[in-house]
Amino acid sequence: VMGVFVNSLPIEPITFFGLFTLSGAQILFLIGGIAIAAGIITYSHKVMDTVGANLLRLSPLTAFIVVLAESIVLFVFSSERLEYFLVSHGLPALPLVPVSSSQAVVGAVIGIGLIKSYRQIRIKVLAEIATGWVTTPIIAGLITFVFLFFLQNVFNQKVYYASEYLVSGEVISHLQKQNMDGAGLEKFRDKSFDNEIEIFQDLNSIGVFSEKQITEIIRDAKIEPTLFDAEIIKSGLDTLWLSAKQVQAVHGLAGSQFTYRWQVEESLQAKEAEWSYKPAGIFNRQWNRNLQSQYDTIFRTFKTRP
pLDDT one-digit tens code per residue, 92-134: 877 778 788 889 999 999 999 999 888 888 899 999 999 989 9
Same domain? For 133 and 33 the reply is: yes
Q: Is residue 160 part of a domain?
A: no
Mean pLDDT of the chain: 86
Q: Is residue 158 part of a domain?
A: no
List Cα–Cα distances, 127 to 119, 123, 124, 133, in angstroms: 15, 6, 5, 10
The pLDDT of residue 119 = 85
Same domain? For 16 and 149 the reply is: yes
Same domain? For 212 and 249 the reply is: no
Residue 97 φ/ψ, nearest 5 degrees = -130, 155
Can you count the helices (H) and strands (E) in the chain?
14, 6
What CA–CA distance (Å, rounded) separates 248 from 274? 11
Same domain? For 147 and 13 the reply is: yes
Number of domains in the chain: 3
Return the sign of the alpha-carbon dihedral for residues 210, 282, 289, 276. Answer: negative
Contact yes or no for 269/275 (Cβ under 8 A): yes
Same domain? For 108 and 148 the reply is: yes
DSSP per-residue letters across 139-205: HHHHHHHHHHHHHHHTS---------EEE-HHHHHHHHTTT--HHHHHTTTTEEESSHHHHHHHHHH
pLDDT one-digit tens code per residue, 9-21: 556 667 777 787 7
Mean pLDDT of 205-211: 90
Q: Write down the pTM of the prediction.
A: 0.70
Pairing outcome for strands 223-227 and 257-260: antiparallel
The pLDDT of residue 73 = 92
The pLDDT of residue 289 = 86
Nearest to 107 by CA among 130, 128, 124: 130
Q: Is residue 8 part of a domain?
A: yes
Q: Is residue 202 part of a domain?
A: yes
Which domain covers residue 237, as residue numbers?
A: 224-302
The radius of gyration computed from the CA coordinates of the chain, to the nearest angstrom, equals 25
Q: Is residue 253 part of a domain?
A: yes
Same domain? For 201 and 231 the reply is: no
Q: Is residue 11 part of a domain?
A: yes
Same domain? For 27 and 116 the reply is: yes
Which pLDDT band, with edges at 50, 70 and 90, does 86 fall under? confident
Which burial class, exposed, middle or buried, applies to 223 when counting CB atoms under 10 A from its CB (0-12, 13-18, 19+)? Answer: middle
Same domain? For 77 and 40 the reply is: yes
Pairing outcome for strands 20-22 and 14-16: antiparallel
Q: What is the DSSP letter of 112?
A: H
Q: Is residue 121 part of a domain?
A: yes
